Chains A and B, each alone.
Chain A
Amino acid sequence: MSKNTRILTVDDSASMRALLNHALSSQGFDVSQAEDGEVALEWLALNEVDVVITDINMPRLDGFGLIEKLRQGNRHRDRPILVLTTESSEEKKARARQAGATGWIVKPFDPEKLVAAVRRVSH
């Protein structure tokens, strides 16, 4: 019996969280949600996850900071982390890549492409 892929989405917009939850839950993923990087770190300290999808612009701890912190420890060093953002600059993309992101997805997202990307990085 295969277990559902567990995803943590990190986004400060409640509307975006609702869209993500719908897009991913309807495809059988086990979705948890955090509203910024700090909440995500607290949640990840206590829970297991297969893929993290994070926004960049967030209060308290942004997406870059979250990725850097996760890559510093052993536990999430190889965890797939997808960035999902309205940012389109090459400089920000390069920064995410340098911080250790696994992939970069531009909003507004296409649910099919997002799900395909999650399946690809979680195998």
Chain B
Amino acid sequence: MNHFLLAEPPPGAHTGDFDEHYGVYLMELLINEMLAHGAAKSRLRAHLYGGANLNSGFARIGTKNAEFAKAFLASERITVVRADLGGTQARRVDFRPARGQVRCRTVENTLAPEPRPSTRPPVARGDVELF
């Protein structure tokens, strides 16, 4: 399961911009691990939950997250089995990976974690080493 908050823009970008580099990176980590455990890309299926704009005063980060996720899955040709996106309410998702079962409920926004900047990967961003 990938859960992005993705509120952190790339350095030098405008606040509220979606960091596509980071979203693609997170998805690649997830997919590579799945392939390493025996998954085949053609058999991958996706569920999308979330993308609500919880705070009307902020940039529409939820909408941008949802748009990224849909565009990513379309370009990677990964079928979306079920999607419950948008709105202004928080969601709680229970996922049973072995059976592929998902339950999604909307909950009070006070139960949602405070948005906080996502941490960068432990390695420096885009480190280059020439041999």
Contacts and interface: CB of A to CB of B under 8 A. Distances in A.
B99 to A, nearest CB: 26
Contacts of B75: 14-15, 18
B6 to A, nearest CB: 12
21 contacts: A14-B75, A15-B27, A15-B72, A19-B20, A57-B32, A88-B121, A105-B126, A105-B128, A106-B123, A106-B125, A106-B127, A107-B25, A107-B126, A108-B21, A108-B125, A108-B126, A109-B21, A113-B127, A113-B128, A114-B126, A117-B130
Interface SS, B side: helix
A120 B24 contact: no
Interface SS, A side: mixed
A116 interface: yes
A97 B124 CA distance: 20
B28 interface: yes
| Tier of interface size on chain B | 20 to 34
| Tier of interface size on chain A | 20 to 34
B128 A117 contact: yes
Interface in B1-50: 20-22, 24-25, 27-29, 31-32, 35-36, 41
